Every structure is written in structure tokens, then in C-alpha cells.
Amino acid sequence: MNFAAQLFYSSYLSERLERLYSPRPALRDREENDPFWQREELHLGPRQPGGCSKPGPVSNGTMGRRPTLIEPERLKDFGEEELLNGDVKVHDTKVVGGPEIMLMDPPKTRRVSEFRIIPRPQAQYLRFEDISAAAFRIHSGVQKTPCTYSRLSKQYGMEIYLKKEQLHYTGSVKERGALYLLTSLTQEQQRKGVIVATDCNFSMAVAHHAVELKVPVFVIMPSCCSSPRLRTYRDYGAMVISYGSTSHDSQNHARHLAKENGYLYLEEDESAAYLAGLGTVGMEIYEQVPKLDAVVVPAAGQYGLLAATAAAVKHLDSRILVVGIEPDGFPLLLQSLKTDGPVKDMHGSPNRKLYGDLMARSLGVNTFQLAKKLVDKVITVSEEDSLVAMLRFQEFERSTVDTEGAMGLAAILAGQLPELRGKKVAVVVSSANMELELVRQCMDRALVLDDRVSKFSVKLGEWPGDMAKLLDILSREDVRLLDVCHRRHGDKSDLFKAKVECVVETRDRTQSAQLRRMLSERYPTICWLDR
């Protein structure tokens, strides 16, 4: 081959390959449907009819032993060539200034079936295996609370079993989730310690069990926190620090301390470990009450308890009805179910003394999905019904609970679950953390709401013995006189009469109605004051 032919061939080949492998929009657009190594424009010579050329590896401009992309017949026009084992041996020609062309291996062809996406089952956020593991881990750290038959059953036409979670050491069901959460931490996290900054049942449970596990625990509380509660945290063995005037200040300070010192800041959330610990309630209820028909669970700021209990109960027996109870002043879960998504900005006015700081709580996506899938019914109860339920616990169960713990029974007392009549129902009593003074105020209010305490005013003459006759009537009716006020200087129109105000307590509503009827007949001017 003469020098001119060799130079022409090298120039032609370099130009052709550079044009073929340069990025062009038209080629990129059809790259997937028409692989570049099978296109007609890559072949320098005509293809044989019915022929098929298989691609082979190419490196540094030299041909391998696999069939080449360039047909050897086309090279005969440019001079000599030697065929060795079916390959083409081309005499080396050095082109001054020509760039070395790096060719890549052609992509592997894939069948159409390989591109099909096979759907995989979605992983469950909370499995029954997780709840079983939590029950095995915490059985020595928390007690197995009783689930006893209630004397209120005959009064309301159903078999009521009370799961008394208020009997835990800290008075709350959240000990289950807090203990399993702490035992799930790494050794490094347990060695450095944890920190909490909210005065709630969760913080009390963390403080108690962290000390039991020999994990350093720090409690940041605002100055508005009551002294008895601070003393409780110190009695548990936690390091208590008072900071700020509001809970928001203490929480920010706790996050700052956790970041600076390597502590783990814990707050009540929807972590899988925490929910698995709470779900052990459902396992115990199923074991303690055979042939159960329904479970009533409070959900005031603790939606994880409802979702986790439903997950356990529904796995063991899908026919068991799970009912969630919320306060009507803050129906977060109920509104979220109506909008088919967790509500972020919930406007409500719950009584913070009774239900805590509910407006600071939120409903997580995972907890909402569990509740949406597993909870059969969500209803709301009023503050008045919860207070009356607290009174029933005092009278019939000889126990003190808070409003959150009484909400399950409140729904039954208010007649909002008529479909459960004649059924076997388990009611979760979640907590009993309420200060003594607030308990007394709640009981006084509950007696009024239950028509057990009445207040009336009556005008009596100033004749000797009129006041004694009124007191004698109350005594004969077996009514307890709580307060009496005798006002001699009343209205100007009644110059010879005195106004008497009395506060009395009766046994029940029947006796109260009988007292009102008798006093109204004897004293036509009597005035019953509103509640």
C-alpha cells in the first residue's frame, strides 16, 4: 500500500469515527430504542443479506478477536491486508497531530421483561413481632397491670373490664414505651445520658427508668412548674434544672445542652421502639379478658397508645372493635380522619389544667396511618363527662385517676357507645397524675354536674323558728348541708324578710329531684341557682 493510500485511509477512518461517536441530539434521543452499534451508518461496507455482526471489545483503536464492526471486504480498496484467524491486521500508520480515540464497550442489551418493576410488599411500620419483642424485654421492668371487672357493669348494661395502667410506679402507661425506648439505645448513648424538658407523664417515665438503668438523666423544667412535681423528679434520682419562664424556653435550653454535651434529647414521638412498648397493653388485655368484643382507648395527646394497642389487638383477633376517645375541645385525630391526613394547625381550646398542653402535641404520619387502618371508631367526650367519670372511679373503684385516664369510661357513661350493650368491653385507664388540689376541685365540680350538689335561695320571715324549720326539713330528708348564708338586709321591698342561701349535697339524682319538689311546694319563692 502506497503512502497516499495509507494517509487517505487513516484520515477517512479518523473522521468517520469522530463523527460517529460525537454527541448528537438525534442519536441521543433514539439511543434507547436503536442501539448505536446496530445502526446502518456504522458499517463502512454493505451488509450481507441476512447477516448479523456481533459486537466485540475495542480498546485503544485496536481490534480484538471478536467480529469487528468494520467489514474486512471494504478495506481491500485501500491496498494490502492480512487475515489472521478471521481478524484483520492493519499496518500501523502514524498520523502526526491526530488524537488517540478511546472507544468504550457497547452497552449490554437487556430484554424488555427486565425493565418491568415487580412491586414489593410495603414494609410495616409497626409489626406484631416488634410488640412481642418489647413485651419480652420490659417484662421485668414494669408490672403486669390488672384488668378487673368493674361494678359499673350492671349499671350500664355491659361487661366492663378496667385495664388499670395508672398503677405503674409513675402512674402512667407511658412507662412501657419509655423503658423499651431506653433499652433500645446504644451503649454510647446510654453512657452519655438523656435529657427531657417537658413536665408530662413521658418525662416522668423516662426519669424513673433511666435512673433504674443507670443512665444519666437531666430534667429541664420552667420556673412555673410546681414544687411537688420538681420534688418528684428529684426523688426519682434525676438531675433537675430550672430554666426559663415557659416550657418553650426550657425545651430550647435542653436542645442546646444536648447538642453541646452529647446528650440524647428525648421527647414523646412516634418512634417504632416507643410505639412497640405501648402496644404491649393490647397483648395483656387479650390475654386477661377472653372472648373480648371491644377495647376503648383514650387518645388525648397520646395517639401512639391508641395506634399501638390497635396494632396488637387486631393482629390477635381482627373482629375486636377498637374505639378511640378524644376531648371535644381538641379532636385532632377525628379532624385528621375527615381530611385524610394529619392536621398540623388545629384550633381548639382544651382546658390545660385538665388535659395538659394538648395544643403543643402533633399527630405523626405513621401514627395516623396506623390509626386510619386499624381503629374502627373515634368519638369525642366533653369535659363535664370526664369529670363525672372521675367521680365514678372514686365511688365505685376506690381509685383516683385524671381526666385523660377517665375518658374511656366517660364515653360509656355519656351513652355514646350504645352498640356495646351486652358486650364484653375493656377500657384502658391510662394515667392518674393530677395534683391533690386539682383533684379536689374536679370532685367538687363533678358533684355539681351530677346533680349531687345543689344551691338555692329562699326568703324567710323574721319570725322566731323560721330558720329552724328549714334546717329541720333538710335534716329529715337526709340532706347534707354544706354551706348556709343568712342575709337580713335584703331588698328594700322586703322589709320583714331575710334571704337565706343554702348549698346541700344529696346521695344521687333521685334524692335531689325529690328535695327540689318538696321545697318548691313548701316555699313557692324558692330560687334554684344555676350550675
Confidence of residue 13 (pLDDT cuts 50, 70, 90): low
Name the least confident of 104-118, 391-405, 412-426, 459-473: 104-118
Q: Which tens digits make up the pLDDT trace of 413-469?
A: 999 999 999 999 999 999 999 989 999 999 999 999 998 999 999 988 777 788 889
A 10 A CB-CB count for 208 gives 25
Length of the chain: 531
Higher-confidence position of 94 and 445: 445
The whole-angstrom separation of Cα 271 and Cα 264 is 14
pLDDT above 80: residue 196: yes
71: which 3 cell numbers? 467489514
What local confidence, expressed as pLDDT, does residue 71 receive?
43
Q: Which tens digits make up the pLDDT trace of 46-81?
A: 444 444 444 444 444 444 444 433 344 433 443 444
What local confidence, expressed as pLDDT, does residue 352 receive?
78
What local confidence, expressed as pLDDT, does residue 385 receive?
95
pLDDT above 90: residue 85: no
What local confidence, expressed as pLDDT, does residue 300 receive?
78
Please give the average per-residue pLDDT across 357-376, as a whole number: 85
What local confidence, expressed as pLDDT, does residue 16 receive?
61
Domains and CATH numbers, the chain: 128-165+280-346+358-443 (3.40.50.1100), 173-265 (3.40.50.1100), 452-528 (3.30.70.260)
What local confidence, expressed as pLDDT, does residue 178 receive?
96
Q: What is the DSSP string of 377-429?
A: EEEEE-HHHHHHHHHHIIIII-----HHHHHHHHHHHTT--GGGTTSEEEEEE
What local confidence, expressed as pLDDT, does residue 494 receive?
62
Name the least confident of 95-109, 440-454, 469-483, 508-522: 95-109
494: which 3 cell numbers? 322586703
128 CB-contact burial (10 Å; exposed 0-12 / middle 13-18 / buried 19+): middle
| CA-to-CA dists, residue 61 to 38, 104, 363, angstroms | 19, 10, 64
What local confidence, expressed as pLDDT, does residue 395 receive?
93
Q: Which tens digits make up the pLDDT trace of 197-213?
A: 988 899 999 999 999 99
| CA-to-CA dists, residue 477 to 157, 450, 451, 469, 518, angstroms | 31, 19, 16, 13, 10
What local confidence, expressed as pLDDT, does residue 122 receive?
52
Please give the average per-residue pLDDT across 111-122, as a whole number: 52
Please give the average per-residue pLDDT across 173-198, as a whole number: 94
Residue 398 has phi, psi (to 5 degrees) of: 55, 45
What local confidence, expressed as pLDDT, does residue 425 receive?
98
pLDDT above 90: residue 123: no
Q: What percent of the chain has pLDDT over 70?
A: 74
What local confidence, expressed as pLDDT, does residue 117 receive?
53
What pTM value is reported for the model?
Answer: 0.73
Q: What percent of the chain has pLDDT over 90?
A: 54
The whole-angstrom separation of Cα 425 and Cα 416 is 14
473: which 3 cell numbers? 326539713
